[in-house]
């Protein structure tokens, strides 16, 4: 089991289970996964607002599914759209983590959605971390890419491991962000 950090809480603040290092790395309700997700989103958004302008970066942008009908809120908080559209995607709405206008292309908004995964989880067996991150990014693309394309937006899945290993698209986005910063600050950029 290895070394155990001192002063760990006895129970998880998210789900109430016994709190261990392993649980902290895998719990989707509490623990470190949710905090790491929010930290990645907030930090990337902060740096993006410095690389572009703060008004070009928004958090939790809506990703609409379906045709051009407006999404209506029902009394129970669920969203609903008319089924009379020609879209191949489902009705309703979801939220991305960040929207950055002009990030990939001028006059086009990129939607970034972060996913943090424990590449050492038993459910992944002995798959290489790279493969686990590729699958996590593919799940995000399967869920959001078509809806973003319908709205003429770019979609970037930001897949990271709990250890900080970045997936292919996340590394490319990091390089793009570094390039924008270097250009704005009139500094040389090499990767």
Q: What per-residue confidence (pLDDT) applies to 81?
A: 44
Q: What is the mean pLDDT of residues 57-85?
A: 59
184: pLDDT strictly greater than 90: yes
Q: What is the mean pLDDT of residues 89-109?
A: 85
3-state SS class at 100: strand
Residues composing the chain: 191
6: pLDDT strictly greater than 50: yes
Q: DSSP string covering 120-170, please? A: T-GGGTT--HHHHHHHHHHHHHHHHHHHHHHTT-EEEEEEEETT--B-HHH
> What digits encode the pLDDT tens for the residues 103-160?
999 999 999 999 999 888 888 888 999 999 999 999 999 999 999 999 999 999 999 9
Q: What per-residue confidence (pLDDT) applies to 1?
A: 55
Q: What per-residue confidence (pLDDT) applies to 21?
A: 82
For residues 189 and 44, what is the distance between their CA atoms, to the nearest angstrom? 18
For the chain, the first-to-last Cα distance in angstroms comes to 38
* Tokens of residue 16, six digits: 């109430």
* Tokens of residue 75, six digits: 């009394």
Q: What is the percentage of the chain residues whose pLDDT exceeds 70?
A: 83
Higher pLDDT, 12 or 90: 12
Short-list 49, 62, 51, CA closest to 179: 51
Q: What is the DSSP letter of 107?
A: T
3-state SS class at 101: strand
- Name the average pLDDT for the chain: 84
Residue found by looking up tokens 């969203």 in the block: 79
* Tokens of residue 30, six digits: 């509490």
Q: DSSP string covering 79-96, please? A: EE--S----SSPSEEEE-
Q: What per-residue confidence (pLDDT) applies to 31?
A: 64
Q: What is the percentage of the chain residues whose pLDDT exceeds 90?
A: 53
Query: For residue 86, what pLDDT band results from cuts at 50, 70 and 90?
Result: very low
173: pLDDT strictly greater than 50: yes
The domain ranges of the chain are 21-76+88-184
Bridge partners of 58? 99
Q: What per-residue confidence (pLDDT) applies to 140?
A: 96
Q: What is the mean pLDDT of residues 156-185?
A: 95
3-state SS class at 24: helix
């Amino acid at each position: 089991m290895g070394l155990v950090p001192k002063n760990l809480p006895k129970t998880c603040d998210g789900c109430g289970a016994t709190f261990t290092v392993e649980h902290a790395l895998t719990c989707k309700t509490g623990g470190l996964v949710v905090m790491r997700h929010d930290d990645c989103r907030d930090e990337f958004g902060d740096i993006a607002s410095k690389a572009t302008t703060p008004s070009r970066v928004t958090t939790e942008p809506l990703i609409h599914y379906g045709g051009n009908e407006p999404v209506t809120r029902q009394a129970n908080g669920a969203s609903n759209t008319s089924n009379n559209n020609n879209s191949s995607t489902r009705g309703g709405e979801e939220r991305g983590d960040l929207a950055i206008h002009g990030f990939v292309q001028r006059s086009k908004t990129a939607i970034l959605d972060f996913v943090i995964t424990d590449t050492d989880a038993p459910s992944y067996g002995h798959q290489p971390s790279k493969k686990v991150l590729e699958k996590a990014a593919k799940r995000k693309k399967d869920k959001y890419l078509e809806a973003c394309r319908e709205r003429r937006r770019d979609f970037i899945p930001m897949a990271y491991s709990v250890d900080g290993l970045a997936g292919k698209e996340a590394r490319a986005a990091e390089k793009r962000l570094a390039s924008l910063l270097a250009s704005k600050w009139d500094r040389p950029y090499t990767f």
